A and B are shown apart, each in its own frame.
Chain A
Amino acid sequence: MINLLLFPIIIPFLFAILLLFFKENVRMQRVLTLIGVVLSLVASFYLLITVKTDGVQAITLGSWPAPFGISMVSDMLSALLVTTTLLLTLFVVIYSFTSIGQERERFFYYPAILFMVTGVNGAFTTGDIFNMFVFFEVLLIASYLLIVLGGEKKQLRESIKYILVNVVSSALFVITVAFLYSVVGTLNMADISVKITEIGQPGIITLIAVLLLIVFGIKGSIFPLHFWLPGSYAAPPIPVLALFGALLTKVGVYAIMRTYTLFFTHNIGFTHEILMALSILTILIGCIGALAYFDLKQIIIYNIVIAVGVILFGAAQMNEAGISGAIFYLIHDMLIKGALFLLIGIIIYVTGTSNLRKMGGLMKTHAPLGWFFLIAAFGLAGIPPLSGFVGKLLIAQGAFQAGNVWGSIIMLASSLIVLLSVMRIFIYAFWGEPVELPKTNRKSYVRMMFPAIAMVVLSIFYGVGTEWLIPYMTDATDVLLDPSIYIDAVLKE
């Protein structure tokens, strides 16, 4: 089965196509989507085990020799990210059955999700820089549909901004790839890495490194380029927001991690210093935003910005602890953001508002919601047995080893602000005097709770089961720190 690593990309794509045939049949849409996501999840777990036992999987499409065809590469990092993506999609899809509403389901909601997952998994798996651009476009175009689907005034306004920003950044991506191609003359990522090592990263390559940082920084929302994110992410309904918040920015983060560990490793003093400075600023700006708002969605959205900063700060250290911390935190953040968005979706459904000042006393009527939100909040802040702890610990360790004392102190202090921002949600929404709740359907509340609880439980296991995950994380870190493993897997002859 040499094509195994493509299955998590092909299966969602196939099912998305099949769904186009049954536009009006909502029941059929749900069943097929569920089957598709579960099948690709099984394939991705199988892939994870294969990568663990046999090492990096690589294939060059069309039976062409390696630098000439499009290579697809699945190392441990990408296999882990693909599996997390599909897990998250499964729960968000189940949540959507109850919360998204028939009108949206009738208009290509599920095909859009599956096309987006195709793009995300493809971007995680590809070994070709232009193919990465294509997969970025696949996921972006599907996300344009998801952000505007429903046609509310707010969605229309914000989707214009979102599309405008992403079209500009995509154009910049193409220009940067053109620069890179004119210097090294190849698009295969392993081959680019070899060629850059041969010429020893002259100034032009460092310039391209900064351009790529700008491109992926817009997609992943790092500090001066995050301006589009808070408005755009607040517009679509909650399940879409959960998918966006957990997946889309992380694709940008993954692309930065990949290019900065595989290509641009010869002038670390310049490129990685910039990355580190920007990631610290990203953490600061995210903290300011997370404290400034009394709106549930905005608080969690600014927590995405903080997490992006933390992950990139770890990745910029370029030592073992920093990188493996970044990988731990990346996957933790995908899980916990998914869980938190689903939970605040339920809070908004129950109270009928996203304004914290209009809530109160939910603990008396919705106790399980409160407790699971509390666990998710502690997990986000990184309280020891839960999932956020190990990643942040390793990142801090890596930063102290590399001598970046102030950066790591700011990163650690940001945990307090993260905790404060989510505890404020807990205190305002769950404590205090109960307020009048609008009439809601108890049955749909229960149905929405299941996937949310499953995600929280998953994140608890992720925190408690760190010991079991360490061999996987070590494999992922090894490939990032030693590009020759990646290059040998692709250019083997």
Chain B
Amino acid sequence: MKTNDVILQTTTKVVFFIIFLFSIHIFFAGHYTPGGGFVGGLLTTGAIVLLLLAFDLKTVQKALPFNFTIMTAIGLLLALGTAAGSIFFNVPFFTHAFDDFTLPLFGVTSLHTAMVFDAGVFLVVVGAAITIIQSIGGDS
């Protein structure tokens, strides 16, 4: 008998975006409140895992056609690049910089290079976690 997942799948379609937006919020809020790249990355992973539970591996791979190993590598490159940028200014490795910018829509915003580092962490966490889940779940 073919099982019918219509309730699960419909709920997932809504809940996925809520979780994903929450993870983006956690990621950006990390500098002033609890949160940051690691938790944000894990929450995004959680959202993708929910998709994997509701649908099958093939559908999710079609919907999110990323190579997650490459995503991990890009994340590492971002993190290393932010830290190594200081080498060109002859200040100690990992020296971050920040400034206030006036952006349209947001107004005066303080932008910090630590956020780019955090974005690297985010990508590494998502890439590594999804790679683990895909390679364990993908065999059968």
Decide: A1 near B90, CB < 8 A? Known: A20-B70, A20-B72.
Answer: yes
Interface stretch, picked from A58-66, A97-105, A147-155, A195-203, is A58-66
Contact B93 A14 (CB under 8 A): no
**Chain A residues with CB below 8 A from B70, complex form:** 20-21
Q: How many residues of B contact A (CB 8 A)?
A: 17
Please, how many angstroms separate the alpha-carbon atoms of A10 and B77 in the complex? 11
Contact A3 B80 (CB under 8 A): no
**Chain A residues with CB below 8 A from B92, complex form:** 2-3, 59-63, 69
A23 within 8 A of B: yes
Contact A62 B80 (CB under 8 A): no
Minimal beta-carbon separation of A146 from chain B (angstroms): 18
Contact B93 A61 (CB under 8 A): yes
**Chain A residues with CB below 8 A from B93, complex form:** 3, 6, 10, 59, 61-62
Decide: A20 near B73, CB < 8 A? Known: A3-B92, A61-B92.
Answer: yes
Q: Which B residues, 58 to 78, have Cβ-Cβ distances below 8 Å to chain A?
A: 69-70, 72-73, 76-77
Please, how many angstroms separate the alpha-carbon atoms of A264 and B93 in the complex? 30
Total number of residue pairs linking A and B with CB closer than 8 Å:
45
Contact A17 B80 (CB under 8 A): yes
**Chain A residues with CB below 8 A from B80, complex form:** 10, 13-14, 17
Contact A63 B91 (CB under 8 A): yes
Contact A63 B95 (CB under 8 A): yes
Instruction: Find A20's partner among B69, B86, B90, B94 (CB 8 Å cutoff).
Output: B69
Q: Which B residues, 117 to 133, have Cβ-Cβ distances below 8 Å to chain A?
A: none
Please, how many angstroms separate the alpha-carbon atoms of A337 and B80 in the complex? 33
Residue of B nearest to A61 (CB): B94
Minimal beta-carbon separation of B126 from chain A (angstroms): 15
Minimal beta-carbon separation of B87 from chain A (angstroms): 5
B50 within 8 A of A: no
Residue of A nearest to B79 (CB): A17
Minimal beta-carbon separation of A20 from chain B (angstroms): 4
Residue of B nearest to A6 (CB): B93
Please, how many angstroms separate the alpha-carbon atoms of A91 and B93 in the complex? 30
Q: How many residues of A contact B (CB 8 A)?
A: 18
**Chain A residues with CB below 8 A from B91, complex form:** 2, 63
A13-45 toward B: CB 8 Å interface, digit per residue (1/0)? 110011011010000000000000000000000
**Chain A residues with CB below 8 A from B84, complex form:** 10, 14
Decide: A62 near B96, CB < 8 A? Known: A1-B90, A17-B76, A17-B77.
Answer: yes
**Chain B residues with CB below 8 A from A1, complex form:** 90
Contact B90 A2 (CB under 8 A): yes
Residue of B nearest to A71 (CB): B92
Q: Which of B77, B84, B93, B94 is most buried by chain A, counting CB atoms within 10 A of its CB?
A: B93
Please, how many angstroms separate the alpha-carbon atoms of A2 and B86 in the complex? 11
**Chain B residues with CB below 8 A from A3, complex form:** 86-87, 90, 92-93
Contact B90 A62 (CB under 8 A): no
Minimal beta-carbon separation of A203 from chain B (angstroms): 38
Instruction: Find B73's partner among A2, A17, A59, A62 (CB 8 Å cutoff).
Output: A17
Residue of B nearest to A19 (CB): B73
Minimal beta-carbon separation of A10 from chain B (angstroms): 6
Minimal beta-carbon separation of B94 from chain A (angstroms): 4
Please, how many angstroms separate the alpha-carbon atoms of A391 and B95 in the complex? 41
Minimal beta-carbon separation of B115 from chain A (angstroms): 15
Please, how many angstroms separate the alpha-carbon atoms of A10 and B69 in the complex? 21
Minimal beta-carbon separation of A106 from chain B (angstroms): 13
**Chain A residues with CB below 8 A from B95, complex form:** 61-63
Decide: A21 near B73, CB < 8 A? Known: A10-B84, A13-B80.
Answer: yes
B84-112 toward A: CB 8 Å interface, digit per residue (1/0)? 10110011111110000000000000000
Minimal beta-carbon separation of B111 from chain A (angstroms): 18
Please, how many angstroms separate the alpha-carbon atoms of A408 and B73 in the complex? 51
Minimal beta-carbon separation of B88 from chain A (angstroms): 10
Minimal beta-carbon separation of A340 from chain B (angstroms): 35
Please, how many angstroms separate the alpha-carbon atoms of A69 and B93 in the complex? 11
Please, how many angstroms separate the alpha-carbon atoms of A59 and B92 in the complex? 7
**Chain B residues with CB below 8 A from A23, complex form:** 69
13 additional contacts, CB 8 Å, given A14-B80, A20-B69, A20-B70? A2-B90, A3-B90, A3-B92, A3-B93, A6-B93, A10-B80, A10-B84, A13-B80, A17-B77, A20-B76, A21-B73, A23-B69, A61-B92
| Chain A interface residues toward B at CB < 8 A | 1-3, 6, 10, 13-14, 17-18, 20-21, 23, 59-63, 69
The 8 tightest CB contacts between A and B, nearest first, are A20-B73, A61-B94, A62-B94, A63-B95, A17-B76, A3-B87, A63-B92, A59-B92
| Chain B interface residues toward A at CB < 8 A | 69-70, 72-73, 76-77, 80, 84, 86-87, 90-96
What are 20 A-B contacts defined by CB distance under 8 Å? A2-B91, A3-B87, A3-B92, A3-B93, A6-B93, A17-B73, A17-B77, A17-B80, A18-B73, A20-B70, A21-B73, A59-B92, A60-B92, A61-B92, A61-B95, A62-B92, A62-B93, A62-B95, A63-B92, A69-B92
